[in-house]
């Protein structure tokens, strides 16, 4: 298995709730290399492109507002690219299932995610689901020169 890169976003709900450190503390033991990291003010276009596969969903507008931080008065996310052996699946395992109540309690989302009246699953982080998604998302969020070679 060769090294893979994956995109992780610490979403505005995590930032608002003081959970940046908690999220990173769960990821750090994976021993992956951080090859990109930055603060991003998310435009509507970037949010819509990031979640393009969900554009037909009834919760799409709330989803964009969530990623843009409008719902949490926190207009930015933290974006990381992590690299290492089997990074995509290993980060997703630690992240847990999309629905916070279905995520295993020891995962990031199982520990910290929640459902709210906004209708969006506030599951505190995003992690690329597979190799194709990782490649697309890394190119969307980072310029090549922002990543360590
Ligand atoms: N989401 C939601 N309701 C749903 C499905 C998804 O609010 O029924 C939100 C949730 O925040 C999720 C994001 O949309 O993280 C992207 O959905 P996806 O199915 O790609 O889940 P993920 O890959 O984040 O586990
Ligand atoms: Mg997804």
Per-state percent for the chain, helix, strand, coil, to nearest 5? 45, 20, 35
The pLDDT assigned to 65 comes to: 97
**Given 50, 66, 72, 126, the catalytic residue:** 126
- Backbone φ and ψ for 130, nearest 5 degrees, come out as -155, 180
pLDDT digits (tens, 9 = 90+) for 73-131: 999 999 999 999 999 999 999 999 999 999 999 999 999 999 988 889 999 999 999 99
The pLDDT assigned to 117 comes to: 83
Q: What percent of the chain has pLDDT over 70?
A: 99
Residue 1: pLDDT over 80:
no
The pLDDT assigned to 79 comes to: 99
User: Is residue 99 annotated as part of the catalytic site, yes or no?
Assistant: no
The mean pLDDT of the chain is 97
Q: C-alpha distances in angstroms, 115 versus 24, 60, 112, 118, 119?
A: 21, 16, 10, 8, 7
For residue 6, what pLDDT band results from cuts at 50, 70 and 90? very high
β-pairing verdict for 77-85 and 33-40: antiparallel
The pLDDT assigned to 119 comes to: 85
**What residues are neighbours of ligand 2 (ion), with CB under 5 Å?**
129
The pLDDT assigned to 62 comes to: 95
Going by CA atoms, what residue is nearest to atom 23 of ligand 1? 129
**CA–CA separation, 111 and 95 (whole Å):** 10
């Amino acid at each position: 298995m060769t090294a893979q890169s994956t995109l992780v976003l610490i979403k505005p709900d995590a930032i608002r709730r003081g959970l940046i450190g908690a999220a990173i503390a769960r990821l750090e033991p994976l021993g992956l290399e951080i090859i990109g990291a930055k603060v991003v003010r998310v435009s509507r276009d970037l949010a819509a492109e990031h979640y393009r596969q969900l554009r037909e969903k009834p919760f799409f507008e709330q989803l964009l507002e969530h990623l843009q931080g409008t719902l949490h008065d926190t207009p930015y996310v933290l974006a990381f690219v992590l690299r290492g052996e089997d990074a995509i699946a290993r980060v997703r395992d630690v992240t847990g299932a999309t629905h916070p109540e279905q995520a295993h309690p020891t995962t990031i989302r199982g520990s910290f995610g929640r459902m709210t009246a906004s209708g969006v699953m506030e599951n505190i982080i995003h992690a690329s689901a597979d190799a194709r998604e990782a490649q697309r998302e890394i190119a969307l969020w980072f310029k090549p020169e922002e990543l360590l070679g």
